[in-house]
Structure 1
Amino acid sequence: MSISQSIQKPQVTILPGAVAILIILAGLAMACWLPHVITQPASYGNSTRILNGDIFDWLIIPLVLFNIFMTMGFAIIEPKEARVLLFFGKFSGVMMDNGFFWINPLASTRKVSLKIENFESEQIKVNDKTGSPIMAAAVVSTQVVDPEAYTFNADDTEALVMNAIDRVLRKTVSLYAYDISGSHDANEKGNVCLRDDSEEISARFKEEIQLIVSNIGMEVLDANFTNLSYAPEIAGVMLQRQQASALMDSRKILVASTVTVVKDAIKSMESITNGQESIRMDEKTKAELAANLLTVMVSERGAQVTLPLS
């Protein structure tokens, strides 16, 4: 999800820096030339006084001060940087071009960085869908796309973003189970869990953060979890549960394979192969053979042969 850009063009006077320098130099040259414009010459002996108090002499000081004031309008706008312009407290547009410019000194400017910025949250403890305490943290990459909204819609944009990450992280973690194995939702189709870190969860997390930060002119480029784990107080118990679940799954596979082997063994004994006679067994003998084979193959220790004394 991205937000639309509504950039207002500058409404104040902006000139290329080189043009402004030429204008200021011309003004200073005029200030140096004014004393030589004599409308009321006053002679003292054989010399003529240059500064004789006429109107052109009085224009020197304001002209010099005006040119000094003009130099306050120079600004260098670097790449990935914008300037928000205010003219006597009124918003007057956004300067997005980069380079050396002269901006009306009566207009105040505010710098806005357009570079990508990462916000990483601290670890927080949240209960997941099953009520298990989870330690969670996330990192969000953002970029300013609307400098006007970024400047005026929040006093502290960083605090707003961090607060949004915290709220959305708590909400997202509480909607899903950390691990669906062994939970009451394990057999339902379409379920996702936090441990899998699915695209569905990440997309929802990113979308809900975007809804908040779009009010301050920011776009969320990426949002991912940096930490998802059980809280320390239940981590040991959950590890034992995972081990028990893995052991049970392995036992099921072993028993299913063993039953297949036993069936094939009994079937081979009762069939004729390579001209040899088959072995006929009653149901009791089959049951004893199957039990012995299952015991040998499923047992964790090797089978020990014992001989009856009688």
Structure 2
Amino acid sequence: MKETKAWYMNGFAGIIGIAVLVAVAIISLLQQLVIIAVLFVVAAIVLASGITIVQPNQAKVLIFFGRYLGTIRDSGLFLTVPLTIRQNVSLRVRNFTSKKLKVNDVQGNPIEIAAVIVFRVIDSAKAVFDVDNYEEFVEIQSEAAIRHVATKYPYDTFTDDDEITLRGNADIISDVLANELQERLKVAGVEVIEARLTHLAYSPEIASAMLQRQQAAAILAARKKIVEGAVSMAQMAIEQLDKEGILELDDERKANMVNNLMVAIVSERATQPVINTGSLY
């Protein structure tokens, strides 16, 4: 199915035409022309069945004895084909928030995920005739797309910083989800405007273990930075002493100095200095 424009005209002109038919029927009845009066009354009733009102951002799908005649998108009062069934389809932007779904990411970790989908109908004929209930269709396909996207990526990564993850690349995941939803919902004449994750977390049964893993990874990363800084500071100190000739240090004393600096910088607690006041010998 594909949306087409239905025939319609100004509704006020149609009301005037109906009033004229009723007036002619009354005049005919006064002149005892009963059959003619009945015919004009029937014509007025049939014509009146074509009067319809269309609200802003709403469409009327016209069905004439099982046949699709077209859609009225303009708002106002109109006269259209009489004896038609007119089904309302909202063209407004709407959003749907999925339930919290429990799925496994690409690494097999159970996670909880939910998303909000912003959509609107762009083809009323597809929305009415190609699917049974387009609103229910949007909900079911949205949950299916969310599950599918969640299984394609890991929740988080602890090794490769360039890998796309659900937690670290929210914008990319939203684009992927929106594109997949659009492919699924185009059969219903629905346009996906936006899709964004609203909830993302590890499942309760593994949340504690994953939190410890994240903390361990953070500690290792911090330690790596501290060690890099300590090495740089020790190297800078030795180079500065050699450059200015303040002390003459052999390799053994340089190694001892580097060791002391590394311990002082890397240690989690404040180091206690030991003062050498001299020797008896």
Could you state the TM-score of these two structures normalised by the residue count of structure 2? 0.90
2:278 is the counterpart of 1:301: no
**Residue matched to 1:74:** 51
Q: Partners of 2:69 and 2:94 in 1: how far apart?
A: 26
2:280 is the counterpart of 1:286: no
**Residue matched to 1:208:** 180
**Residue matched to 1:245:** 217
2:105 is the counterpart of 1:133: no
**Residue matched to 2:6:** 10
Q: Deviations over 1:231-283 (max 9, x none)?
A: 1111112111212211111212112212222222223333445xxxx422222
**Residue matched to 1:235:** 207
Tell me if the contact between 1:124 and 1:136 (Cα under 8 Å) persists in the aligned partners.
yes
Q: Deviations over 1:56-78 (max 9, x none)?
A: 14433443344244333221111
Which amino acid counterpart does residue 290 of structure 1 have in structure 2?
Answer: V
- Per the alignment, do residues 269 and 31 of structure 1 end up closer, same or farther by CA in structure 2, a change over 3 Å counting? closer
Tell me if the contact between 1:81 and 1:114 (Cα under 8 Å) persists in the aligned partners.
yes
Q: Partners of 1:192 and 1:242 in 2: how far apart?
A: 17
**1:193 aligned to which of 150, 160, 165:** 165
**Residue matched to 2:134:** 157
Give the secondary-structure state (helix, strand or coil) at the position aligned to 2:192.
strand
Give the secondary-structure state (helix, strand or coil) at the position aligned to 2:199.
strand
Tell me if the contact between 1:84 and 1:94 (Cα under 8 Å) persists in the aligned partners.
yes
**2:26 aligned to which of 6, 29, 32:** 32
Q: Partners of 2:256 and 2:119 in 1: how far apart?
A: 70
Identity of matched residues, %: 32
Give the secondary-structure state (helix, strand or coil) at the position aligned to 2:92.
coil
- Per the alignment, do residues 162 and 57 of structure 1 end up closer, same or farther by CA in structure 2, a change over 3 Å counting? closer
Deviation of the 1:198 alpha carbon = 4.0
Deviation of the 1:35 alpha carbon = 4.3
Q: Deviations over 1:165-219 (max 9, x none)?
A: 111111111111111124xxx16x4x21111234332222111111111111111
Q: Deviations over 1:123-165 (max 9, x none)?
A: 1111111111111111111111111111111112222111111
- Per the alignment, do residues 145 and 294 of structure 1 end up closer, same or farther by CA in structure 2, a change over 3 Å counting? same
Tell me if the contact between 2:113 and 2:201 (Cα under 8 Å) persists in the aligned partners.
yes
Q: Partners of 1:24 and 1:61 in 2: how far apart?
A: 14
Q: Partners of 1:31 and 1:232 in 2: how far apart?
A: 76
Structure 2 unaligned segments of length 5 or more: list them. none
- Per the alignment, do residues 92 and 289 of structure 1 end up closer, same or farther by CA in structure 2, a change over 3 Å counting? same
Tell me if the contact between 1:125 and 1:136 (Cα under 8 Å) persists in the aligned partners.
yes
